[in-house]
Amino acid sequence: DGGITQSPKYLFRKEGQNVTLSCEQNLNHDAMYWYRQDPGQGLRLIYYSQIVNDFQKGDIAEGYSVSREKKESFPLTVTSAQKNPTAFYLCASSIVNEAFFGQGTRLTVV
């Protein structure tokens, strides 16, 4: 089935450690996105990528990094520089008139 897969669903990290969240899509979409959602809050854009080997910072990119080496994959690394990383992370992929989301990864820093 076509879709977007985020893994893992739940992730625990010790303070000071980097962690990478996976996002894979088989929809052949050019654009991919990472959003952060805090409890009771909306979706804030972290990074987005329009094509392979290209990406742009969103509204809250500090403390995060991404890569786009393949069309299907857009991993997000939450670095130790991110001051408050505990949140729900959503990945999306899109063509011009469609945008679909993965099921999200809930990251907790312990």
Partner 1 sequence: AQKVTQAQTEISVVEKEDVTLDCVYETRDTTYYLFWYKQPPSGELVFLIRRNSFDEQNEISGRYSWNFQKSTSSFNFTITASQVVDSAVYFCALRAVGGGSNYKLTFGKGTLLTVNP
Minimum CB separation of residue 80 from partner 1 in Å reads: 26
DSSP structure string for 50-76: SSTT--EE-SS-TTEEE--SBTTB--E
Shortest Å, Cβ 65 to partner 1: 19
Q: Is 100 in the site for partner 1 (CB under 8 A)?
A: yes
Residues 40-69 that bind partner 1 (CB under 8 A): 40-43, 45, 48, 50, 56, 58
> Which CB, 18 or 50, lies closer to partner 1?
50
Q: Does 88 bind partner 1 (CB under 8 A)?
A: yes
Binding residue (CB under 8 A) for partner 1 from 52, 73, 86, 106: 106
Residue whose structure tokens are 């008139």: 97
- Pairing mode, if any, of strands 19-25 and 4-7? antiparallel
For residues 13 and 28, what is the distance between their CA atoms, to the nearest angstrom?
31
Number of residues that bind partner 1 (CB under 8 A): 27
DSSP string for 9-39: SEEEE-TT--EEEEEEE-S--SEEEEEEE-T
Query: Among 13-21, 35-43, 66-74, 77-85, which window interacts with partner 1 (CB under 8 A)?
Result: 35-43
Q: Is the dihedral of CA 29, 35, 89, 14 positive or negative?
A: positive
Contact residues toward partner 1 (CB under 8 A) are 30-31, 33, 35, 40-43, 45, 48, 50, 56, 58, 88, 90, 92, 94, 96-104, 106
